[in-house]
Amino acid sequence: MLQKTKGIALHYYKYSESSVIAKIFTQDFGLQSIIINGVRKKNAKSKLGLFRPFTLLELELYKKSKTGLKRIKEISISEILEKIPKDINRSLLAVFIAEVLLKVLQEDEKDDRLFNYIKTIISEIENSPEIRNTFPLEFLFDLTSFLGFYPSKINADLPYFDLQNGCFAEKEFLHNHFINGKNLQNFKAILFKEKKNISQENRKKLLLILMDYYKLHHYELKNLKSHTVIEQLRQ
């Protein structure tokens, strides 16, 4: 059965000498693994650009089963992006967000809210005059609201934040998963969307804290190109 949908390209992998498997987050079917035949042939390699992170697509899929690899009948770009493919900061950020999504998304799980949010993020990265160096951190905070463990903002004046339970607290814990001091100040600045200049070193620290926070809530963010992203975004 043929079904049409919109999609956001996240990544592709070599599948054979001439084919790839594309990871595409679709509006109607969630994350899909799709075989693209012949796209690595010498006369067709230009089509690989369709599967760069954040390419916005129109798809017509063969949906024979709910799970497993899918095939396409038709695929085309639904909206041309000018800045993201050409600007190093924007393209690195696209790679980073795509990598995170591939870590947290489940195949065949539709999520309209998240799909629309990612489209909004793409538009912001494409159209903003300049990319904030805290953007990757802001994204990681926002994404937790879709995954079910957005940090509580209650009692934000307390001196500790408990990463394990996702809330502010007045004292230390038996476990080691809490932050305070400068790390907590920077954590709160992103959480409450304050305009604050956070140094490169402190952005790296906050990134590691957020990766730990994700891990405590059952999402492992290993082997990301995040350090490259944080380091190369403008000071």
**Could you tell me the pLDDT band of residue 233, with boundaries at 50, 70 and 90?**
low
**Cβ-proximal residues to 185 (8 Å cutoff; 6+ apart), any chain:** none
pLDDT digits (tens, 9 = 90+) for 36-62: 887 766 665 567 788 999 999 999 988
Assess whether pLDDT exceeds 70 at residue 146: yes
The pLDDT assigned to 221 comes to 87
pLDDT digits (tens, 9 = 90+) for 205-226: 999 999 999 999 999 887 776 5
Whether the Cβ atoms of residue 209 and residue 163 lie closer than 8 Å to each other: yes
The pLDDT assigned to 104 comes to 96
Strand order in the sheet with 167-169: 167-169, 160-162, 178-179
DSSP state of 130: S
Whether the Cβ atoms of residue 53 and residue 22 lie closer than 8 Å to each other: no
**Could you tell me the pLDDT band of residue 126, with boundaries at 50, 70 and 90?**
very high
Domain ranges of the chain: 2-81, 132-232
For the four alpha carbons of 194, 114, 109 and 14, in that order, the dihedral sign comes to: negative
User: Which conformational region is residue 121 in: left (phi greater than 0), alpha (psi within -120 to 50 degrees), or beta?
Assistant: alpha
The pLDDT assigned to 52 comes to 93
The pLDDT assigned to 8 comes to 98
**2-81 belongs to which homologous superfamily?**
Nucleic acid-binding proteins (2.40.50.140)
DSSP state of 38: T
